[in-house]
Amino acid sequence: MSTASTRLPEGRYGRSSDERADRTLKVVGAVLAVALLGLLGWFGYHYVAKSEISGEVISFEPGKESVQVHLEVRKDAGTDGYCTVRSQAENGAEVGRADFRFDGDATRIDKVVTLRTTSPGTTAELLGCHAG
C-alpha cells in the first residue's frame, strides 16, 4: 500500500504563503540594515568632523592646595574653546574642577595650568574639551 502525498504539484498553484513571507522578511531586513548603516555613518561623520578641539593631560604635579597640569590641546585654527579638568583626593572625592580657555590661531597648544583644590589632590583628569 502506498501513502498519498499531500504536497501540491510544483509550480501549479503559484507561490505558497511561506515563500511570500520569507521574501518579504528578506526585503524588510535588507532595508533596515541599509538604514542602520547609513545612520551609523552619519553619526560617525559628525563625531569626527565636529571635533574642533581635543586635548590630553601630559603630566601633573599634585600639591597641598593645587595641582599643576600640563595640557596639550589640538584645535582648528581660529577656533576658541575650553577644556575641563578635575582633581580627586585619595578617597575618590572631587577636590577641584575648572575650565581653562584656549583662544587664538595656534592649532597646537602646550600649556601648564594650575587647578586649585580644596584639599590635596592626587589625580588630574581631563573631562573634555569643547568649542565655543
Per-residue confidence (pLDDT) for residue 24, from 0 to 100: 87
Using the structure block, give the residue that is written with the C-alpha cell 499531500: 6
Above pLDDT 90, what percent of the chain? 55
- Give the pLDDT confidence score for residue 31 in this predicted structure: 94
| pLDDT(50) > 70 | no
pTM over 0.85: no
CB 83 within 8 A of CB 52: no
Query: 16-25 burial, b if ≥16 CB within 10 A, otherwise e?
Result: eeeeeeeeee
CA distance 63 to 55: 23
Task: Indicate if the pLDDT at residue 90 is higher than 70.
Answer: yes
Q: Detail the DSSP E strand segments found in 27-107.
A: 53-62, 66-75, 81-88, 94-102
94-102 vs 108-116, strand pairing mode: unpaired
CB atoms within 10 A of CB 68: 14
| The predicted structure's pLDDT at residue 33 | 94
